Structure 1
Amino acid sequence: MRTLHAAPVVRYTLGEGGAVLHDGGVLVDGGRVAAIGPLDELRAAHPQARVRQWPGTLGPALVHDGPVPDAPTPRERIHALLRLGATAVLAEHVAEPGLRAAAERNEVAVFDDRPRPPALTEAVRADLAVFGADGACLATVLAGRLVHRRR
């Protein structure tokens, strides 16, 4: 099923000077980004898509560059990353076998070195995050699946 993630602000890239689209959306088909554009155009072109309207800013998910938060189990530690809006982590921070296995089971990307900044483009894995005005992560989408939503 196709899902259209919509927000008042969509960022194509993270960091200063990144491209921004107002009242935009990201169409996800399976685990990939199928289209990015103005919300009205995407709705007209894909009327059967399920729409998830998010407040805040929608953009690429983060790459976590630091120790993984503490929690009782490796699975809960990886879920803590998802709650931060991260769908990728540097390998040095998941060196412990149980933690690395939990990351792989949950399809969290593990990079050996610092990757280039995340960007939204068509055909890439649909790793998205929504952040509120206070900077808190409101939702995380990992490979097209909603894996975190702040209540």
Structure 2
Amino acid sequence: MLTIHAADEVRTGRDAEPIEGGAVAVEGNSIAAVGPLAQVRERFPQARVRSWPGVLEPGRLHEGPLPDAPSPRERVHAVLKSGAVAILAQYADSPGLRAAADRNDVLVLSGARPPALAESGRADLAVFDDTGACVATVCAGRLVHRRR
């Protein structure tokens, strides 16, 4: 199902100009479009729209050890709740953590890479409120965290 994630502002990358009233259309695990909400809705009038308060940007890389939790699944979920969609391989140091990351489509990377939101790219994004708290995380096109 095609979903449009709209926010007060969309940042496609660190150095990119913000898009006020922007949106990202997600189809499957890929980004179908990025731009102003009106233009994205015009391209995909049948899409469901999820509106988020705050800034929508590329999902982050969790650069340190995963948070402590009773199980590997809960450790990976804690990362997703922070707006991260990728972890460093050096911290996915057990088969259980790697399996939990794989089940949740969390990327396991050997090093940092510049995150970006671009058409045809993997749909990894997060929304942050004005305090910097994560409002929502989309990992490989799936909404995996939403703050209530």
Give the alignment of 1:71-150 within 5 angstroms: 71-114=69-112, 116-150=113-147
SS at match of 2:49: strand
User: Runs of 4+ in structure 1 displaced over 6 angstroms?
Assistant: none
Match of 1:5 in 2: 5
Q: Distance in 1 between matches of 2:10 and 2:104?
A: 25
* Paired residues, number: 148
| Residue-by-residue CA offset, 1:22-58 (whole Å, 9 max, x unaligned) | 0110011111000001111111221100000000000
Matched to 1:43, the amino acid is: R
Q: TM-score, normalised by structure 2?
A: 0.97
SS at match of 2:21: strand
Match of 2:23 in 1: 25
Match of 2:50 in 1: 52
Q: Distance in 2 between matches of 1:34 and 1:73?
A: 35
Query: Which stretch shifts more, 42-51 or 61-70?
Result: 42-51
Q: TM-score, normalised by structure 1?
A: 0.95
Q: Distance in 1 between matches of 2:100 and 2:27?
A: 25
Unaligned residue ranges in structure 2 (runs of 5+): none
